[in-house]
């Protein structure tokens, strides 16, 4: 039997299997009109019951249920489906929220140059989530200023800072870790690591002790972000013994603390970072995440940590459906980047925000990365409206083909100076040398001996400044903006079409976050009902953007 014409609720065929039990209750509570159905489905604090009466399907959230199919109660109607309340606080791993003092398992990922700004972290923190402030690419002085801003809040909120692995800038990780320890930054997002570094381990184990019950307490928490299983296994392992010994010898920790540290993972929380904005291995989340979860289970079994390991989900989340998929796959928490960059609180320019708001899913490209240019590492950037990806690729091709600036053909040199650099190579080198004289003089020594390295430093001038032009909204350099961005941006824009979110000025980070969480919960509820054989017309299954007031009235 096929039921239809039921204002969007369709039961394709009814079988005894789909008949769950009997519903009894106030007949006036049974609804079949579109708007009523939307309200019942959208009110996530209440259950939803699907009732068959006189050949027509109804929804209600009140019931007296019996599951004894053989005894139809007086006044009872067949119960054909059921969805439990879907509470936003229950999405993800509740222990993650408990450990980090959050209401929702939602994390704003670090975005370099302060694009994930203190303003993003404050807004998320005030709403029961946590945001990481993007420290990569910024001077220690700017990072310290942001720490002081967060520390001076009258009403403290949860927050964290990024610790990015910086193999090219000797000593930088140590300086940043010193700042975090000095100011009591208790949570970091550790990213771009291929192996453990001493500063990272120092941060993690500083202050480690046992409480009165002999349980290990680690004041400093690390959320690792990785896209490779080999690297994940290093974060889920205890800190390397050699590094612990070095820290003991240097007087940073005691022998006893080193011993305690062998019983903890470097990171209890690890984000499996799939195809995303910025550095990415472009792996699909649906294949990467289960692998990381399997690793977590193996390593928990092996090490039997007191603090159980957890895996969060990062990369590709720009819609409620993708957030729902993450939680359906068992994500302990969600990490969002690209969609936040387009929000009014982000540290980028209005010009960049507008370009992001116009991006489609295919408007992105991989381009050579500034920090690991010589190694051929790439980052995912916005392609539409900027020529950065093409120009950066040209630089990499020239770097591969020629071993010094002097060996560049005249035409290429001219093109570089006229089009890409918009300045003479001599001038660029002068500025570059001044920069490294302050920051890392060893680079200059290397460049003197190796002209190919000098070439890399000059080319990295462009790669290093292009994100700053975007952040500053430098009008004359618009075509050179390097804007890190993943496919989630285009997905968000597509979902936002026709709604208040379409305008960049309406994208507030908490509104975006709550829409992703609320929408995920609603998607999961619809999926529960779909899995029981119910079909929805488009207007019922369309999880559209809602204002914060609308969401608050439904949760
Ligand atoms: C503009 C931008 C800058 C980023 N910079 C960093 C960074 O400095 N450090 C880091 O760990 N991750 C960085 N990321 C990655 C994000 O923190 C986050 O993990 C990722 O964006 C999630 O995937 P999504 O872009 O699909 O939302 C950046 C992402 C973007 C979009």
- Considering only CA atoms, which residue is closest to atom 20 of ligand 1? 337
Q: Is 488 in the pocket of ligand 1 (CB under 6 A)?
A: yes
Ligand 1 atom at minimal distance to the Cα of residue 271? 19
What residue owns the CA closest to ligand 1's atom 28?
Answer: 111
Answer yes or no: is the C-beta of 485 below 6 A from any ligand 1 atom: yes
pLDDT number for residue 537:
87
Where does CATH 3.20.20.70 sit in the chain?
A: 104-348
Ligand 1 lined by 109 (C-beta under 6 Å) = yes
CA dihedral 309→310→314→316, nearest 10 degrees, is 130
Task: Give the C-alpha separation, 554 to 40, whole Å.
Answer: 10
Strands 106-108 and 64-66: unpaired
Assigned fold of 104-348: TIM Barrel (3.20.20)
> Pocket of ligand 1, candidates 130, 276, 314: which has the most ligand atoms within 8 Å of its Cβ, to mutate?
276
C-beta of 225 in contact with ligand 1 (< 6 A)? yes
Residue nearest atom 18 of ligand 1, based on CA coordinates: 337
Q: Where are the alpha helices (DSSP H) in 305-349?
A: 320-328, 338-341
Cα(107)–Cα(298) distance, rounded to whole angstroms?
A: 25
Note the Cα 498 to chain centre separation in Å.
Answer: 25
pLDDT-derived band at 14, boundaries 50, 70, 90: low
Confidence check: pLDDT of 255 > 90:
yes
Q: List, in sequence order, every beta strand (DSSP E) within 405-534.
A: none
In whole numbers, what is the pLDDT of the chain averaged over residues? 94
Per-residue pLDDT reduced to its tens digit, 153-207: 999 999 999 999 988 777 899 999 999 999 999 999 999 999 999 999 999 999 9
- pLDDT band with cut points at 50, 70 and 90 for residue 17: low
Where does the pLDDT of residue 16 fall: very low under 50, low under 70, confident under 90, or very high at 90 and above? Answer: very low
Is residue 213 scored above 80 in pLDDT?
yes
Pairing of strands 209-210, 216-217: antiparallel
pLDDT (0 to 100) of residue 21: 94
Question: Measured on CA atoms in the order 98, 103, 104, 107, is the torsion positive or negative?
Answer: negative
Q: How far is CA 12 from CA 7, 15, 209, 332, in A?
A: 14, 10, 61, 35
Is residue 315 in contact with ligand 1, taking CB distance under 6 Å?
yes
Pair 9, 536: CB distance under 8 Å: yes
Residue 191: CB within 6 Å of ligand 1? yes
Under the banding of pLDDT at 50, 70 and 90, the label for residue 1 is very low
Mutate to test the pocket of ligand 1, among 277, 282, 365, 382 (most ligand atoms within 8 A of CB): 277
Q: How far apart are CA 474 and CA 162, in angstroms?
A: 26
- Distance (angstroms) between ligand 1 centre and the Cα of 464 equals 17
pLDDT for the residue numbered 385: 95
Cα 546 from Cα 514, distance rounded (Å): 9
| From 270, 338, 340, 513, mutation site for ligand 1 pocket: most ligand atoms within 8 A of C-beta | 338
On the question of pLDDT at 7 being above 90, the answer is: no
Q: The whole model's pTM is what?
A: 0.95
Whether the CB of 341 sits within 6 Å of ligand 1: yes
Answer yes or no: is pLDDT of 11 > 90. no
Is the beta carbon of 338 within 6 A of some atom in ligand 1? yes
Q: How far is the CA of 483 from the centre of ligand 1 (A)?
A: 11
Q: Of 2-11, 101-110, 471-480, where does mean pLDDT reach its minimum?
A: 2-11
| E-assigned strand segments in 211-306 | 216-217, 221-226, 269-273, 278-279
- Rounded mean pLDDT of 531-553? 92
Report the atom number in ligand 1 closest to the C-alpha of 113.
8
Q: Of all atoms in ligand 1, which is nearest to the CA of residue 318?
A: 27
Give the Å distance between the CA of 325 and the centre of ligand 1. 20
Share of the chain above pLDDT 90, in %: 89
Q: Which of 117-121, 168-172, 364-368, 534-538 has the lowest mean pLDDT?
A: 168-172
**Dist. CA 109 → ligand 1 center (Å):** 6
How much of the chain is helix, strand and coil, in % rounded to 5? 45, 15, 40
Cα(229) to ligand 1 centroid in Å equals 19
Q: What is the mean pLDDT of residues 250-270?
A: 98
pLDDT of residue 18: 75
Q: Which of 8-12, 235-239, 320-324 has the lowest mean pLDDT?
A: 8-12
Residue 239 CB less than 6 A away from ligand 1? no
- In ligand 1, the atom with minimum distance to the C-alpha of 112 is 8
Check whether 2 has a pLDDT greater than 80.
Answer: no
pLDDT confidence bin for 4, thresholds 50/70/90: very low
Distance in Å, CA 468 to ligand 1 centroid: 16
Average pLDDT for 284-302: 97
Q: Does the pLDDT value for residue 545 go beyond 70?
A: yes
Q: pLDDT of 56-94, one tens digit each?
A: 999 999 999 999 999 999 999 999 999 999 999 999 999
Instruction: Kindly state the percentage of the chain with pLDDT values over 70.
Output: 97
């Amino acid at each position: 039997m096929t039921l239809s014409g039921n204002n969007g609720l369709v039961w394709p065929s009814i079988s005894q299997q789909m008949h769950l039990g009997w519903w009894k209750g106030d007949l006036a509570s049974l609804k079949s009109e579109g708007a009523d159905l939307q309200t019942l489905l959208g009110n996530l604090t209440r259950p939803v019951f699907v009732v068959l009466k006189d050949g027509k399907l109804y929804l209600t959230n009140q019931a007296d249920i019996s599951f004894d199919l053989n005894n139809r109660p007086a006044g009872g109607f067949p119960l054909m489906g059921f969805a439990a309340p879907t509470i936003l606080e229950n999405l993800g791993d509740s222990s993650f929220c408990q450990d980090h003092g959050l209401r929702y398992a939602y994390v704003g990922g670090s975005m370099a140059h302060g694009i994930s700004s203190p303003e993003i972290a404050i807004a998320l923190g005030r709403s029961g989530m946590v945001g990481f402030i993007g420290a990569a690419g910024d001077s220690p002085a700017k990072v310290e200023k942001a720490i002081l801003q967060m520390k001076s809040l009258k009403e403290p909120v949860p927050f964290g800072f990024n610790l990015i692995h910086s193999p090219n800038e000797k000593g930088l990780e140590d300086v940043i870790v010193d700042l975090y320890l000095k100011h009591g930054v208790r949570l970091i997002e550790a990213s771009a690591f291929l192996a453990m570094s001493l500063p990272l381990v120092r941060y993690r184990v500083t202050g480690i002790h046992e409480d009165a019950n002999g349980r290990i307490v680690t004041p400093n928490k690390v959320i690792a972000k990785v896209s490779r299983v080999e690297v994940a296994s290093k974060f889920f392992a205890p800190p390397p013994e050699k590094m612990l010994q070095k820290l003991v010898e240097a007087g940073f920790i005691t022998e006893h603390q080193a011993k305690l540290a062998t019983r903890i993972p470097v990171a209890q929380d690890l984000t499996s970072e799939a195809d995303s904005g910025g550095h990415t291995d472009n792996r699909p989340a649906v294949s990467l995440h289960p692998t990381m979860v399997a690793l977590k289970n193996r390593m928990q079994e092996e090490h039997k940590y007191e603090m159980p390991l957890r895996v969060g989900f990062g990369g590709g989340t720009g819609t409620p459906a993708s957030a729902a998929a993450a939680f359906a796959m068992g994500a302990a928490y969600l990490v969002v980047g690209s969609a936040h960059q387009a929000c009014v609180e982000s540290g980028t320019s209005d010009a960049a925000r507008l370009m992001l708001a116009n991006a489609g899913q295919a408007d992105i490209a991989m381009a050579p990365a500034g920090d690991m240019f010589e190694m051929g590492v790439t980052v995912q950037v916005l392609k539409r409206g900027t020529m950065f990806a093409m120009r950066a690729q040209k630089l990499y091709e020239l770097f591969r083909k020629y071993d010094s600036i002097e060996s560049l053909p005249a035409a290429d040199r001219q093109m570089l100076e006229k089009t890409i650099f918009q300045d003479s190579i001599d001038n660029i080198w002068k500025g570059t040398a001044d920069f490294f004289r302050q920051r890392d003089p060893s680079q200059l020594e290397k460049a003197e001996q190796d002209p190919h390295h000098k070439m890399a430093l000059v080319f990295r001038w462009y790669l290093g400044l292009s994100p700053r032009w975007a952040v500053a909204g430098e009008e004359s350099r618009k075509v050179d903006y390097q804007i890190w961005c993943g496919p989630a941006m285009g997905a968000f824009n597509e979902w936002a079409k026709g709604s208040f979110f379409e305008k960049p000025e309406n994208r507030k980070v908490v509104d975006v976050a709550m829409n992703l969480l609320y929408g995920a919960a609603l998607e999961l509820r619809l999926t529960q009902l779909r899995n029981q054989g119910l079909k929805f017309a488009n207007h019922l299954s369309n999880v559209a953007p809602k204002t914060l007031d609308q969401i608050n009235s439904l949760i």
